[in-house]
Structures are given as C-alpha cells and as structure tokens.
Amino acid sequence: MNDLALSLSNTLADAVARAGRAVVAVNARRRGSSTGVHWRPGVVVTADHTVRMDDEITITRPDGRPVPATLAGRDPGTDLAVLTVADAEPPVAELGDADSLKVGHPVLALGAGPTASWGVVSAVSGRWHTWRGGEIDRLLRLDLVLYPGFSGGPLVDLDGRIVGINTSGLSRHTPVAIPVATVSRVSDELLTRGHVARGYLGLALHPVRLPETLAHTLGLASRTGLIVVNVEAGGPSSTAGLLIGDVLVTLDGAPVGETDDVQAVLGSQRVGSIVRAQIIRAGASAQVEITVGDRPQGRR
C-alpha cells in the first residue's frame, strides 16, 4: 500500500471510530434492527420507515448493552423518528456542517456495529419537498451503498463529524441524506408536540392550463393554475366556501401552477393564519380567505 492509500485508509478508519461512538442499533421492527444516532443526551434519531413498533422499543449501545427507548414522535414527511432514552450515556453526535459538502466529496455511511460504506456526494441542491410532503433544507444525494439496516444511521465526513441522517425511504433511486439542520429542526418539534405541524388547506388539486383569452381578460400573470378536484368536508377550504371546479391561481399573491407552489406558501408557521386565495369560478375572478389548518396525521 502506497503512502497516499495508507493515509486515506487511516483517515477513513479514524472517521468511523470517531462517529461510531454515537451510533446505536434501533430494535423497532420484528425482523432485524436499523441504525440510530445518539443526537444529544437522551435523544436518539433514526429513520421513521424503519420504526414499525410504537412500544417495546430498545436500542443497543455501542458496547452491546440493550436499553429501553420510548417513541417521542415521528414525521413520515422527512422520514425521521425520535426516541428518548432514560439510561443514555455519552458520547453524543459530533455534528458537522452539511452546507460545506460539495459534489465529489468523500463521505461514509455508518450502520450499527459500527459497519461502514464509503462513497461520494453525487448531487447537491437547495431546499426540496419530499414525495411524502416533508421539507428538507438541502438535497444530498449519495453514491454509496446503504446496506440493510443502514437507514437511520449517520452520514459522516472525513473528519468523523456527522453531517446528516441517511435514508432509503425518500428516494426510489438513490440514497439521500437528511442534513443536520433539518434533523435538528424536526427533532425539536417532535420532542415538543410529537408531530410536525404542516399547513393544510383540505384540497385535492390538479394543474390546468388556462385559455389565453381568459387569462388576458382577468389580468392574470400566468396561464397556469390548479383546479380543485376534491374539497374535504369540514376542512379549511370547505369552511371558506371553495367548490369543486374552482381554479386556484394565486396564494397570498404568489402564482400557483403546481402543488409544490402551494406547499412553498404553507408551512408550520402558517398554521392558524389566513391566506388569501385568488380563484376563478364560472369565468370570473374571486378572492377567498382560508384559515390554514394543521395537516391531520397520516395524510400527505
């Protein structure tokens, strides 16, 4: 082994040893365990899709000792779950800066044991909404193998700092990592209320292109909108008087042509507040005020 290869090998081994001290096995499904991270004293973070039980959960510490754990909350939208552990002991995660990661940077995925997989960051982009309705601060795609049981484990930089939580539950094609900022934000909310509040209108919407003459007549900035295909009985939009067939064109003045545009306007901070919706009904423009609800659990 030449000097460069030896140096890299030692760097990777040191990073595994440093980060692995905060890595635990999560025993929350009938067959096999997944991985979790002792995020801060008494708090373990893991991937929600690996937590199949609501009680009788245990974690296995790096020294092999099993410890009872309690499910504090879960958020399918970001695929995160938080466990609390009364008998937790240091060390806890040494957190790094996921914003410093660039395409091509070498990274490690750790499983309990510890076990490790090595690869690179394959893609980086900004804030994104998952197919489950969650909001992730930064998209980190990984070119490495998440072996069975690795979901919920840490993404680790070459200094041995944890920069995210790995999951195979948010992408059908490649593993992704949930960055530290998202994990901390979501875990705080789960510890406080047991779920993540998300703005909710109670509508099923479908993109539609508007006739050019109609858009011109109504003075619309865009020729796209969202047609209402279902209104949930008793939901925020039903209470506000929206009807099937209405076309939503703006929310608080922002054009909406895709469902992601609606999610961009809504958020946990908007729950309970009023949004002003511009709609088209029977060829005429109208303004409707909707009080944003808190999305019921189990719905996307």
300 assigned to some structural domain: no
Residue ending a domain, among 62, 84, 106, is 84
What is the domain range of residue 121? 98-182
33, two tokens: 């365990």
Under 8 Å between Cβ of 83 and 71: yes
Whether residue 109 sits in one domain with residue 178: yes
Residue at 39 is within a domain? yes
pLDDT per position as a tens digit, 108-162: 999 998 999 999 999 999 888 887 778 899 999 999 999 999 999 999 999 999 9
d(CA 46, CA 52): 12
For the question of residue 79 being annotated catalytic, the response is: yes
Separation between Cα atoms, residue 185 and residue 278, nearest integer Å: 32
Of 33, 38, 49, 195, the active-site residue reads 49
Q: In this model, does residue 300 exceed pLDDT 70?
A: no
Number of folded domains in the chain? 3
> Which is the catalytic residue, given 34, 151, 168, 187?
151
Question: What phi and psi values does residue 153 have, to the nearest 5 degrees?
Answer: -85, 175
125, 169: one domain: yes
Q: 139-143 and 115-125: which strand pairing?
A: antiparallel
Residue 164 lies in a domain: yes
C-alpha to C-alpha distances, 65 to 13, 149, 279, nearest whole angstrom: 23, 18, 59
Q: Is 268 a catalytic residue?
A: no
What are the structure tokens assigned to 134, written together?
A: 């969650």
Q: What percent of the chain has pLDDT over 90?
A: 70
Question: Strand, coil or helix: what is 44?
Answer: strand
Identify whether residues 203 and 290 lie together within a single domain.
yes
Q: Considering the domain boundaries, does residue 190 fall inside one?
A: no
Identity of residue 65: R
The CATH number linked to 121 is 2.40.10.10
Residue 8 lies in a domain: yes
Task: Among 182, 216, 232, give the residue marking a domain's end.
Answer: 182
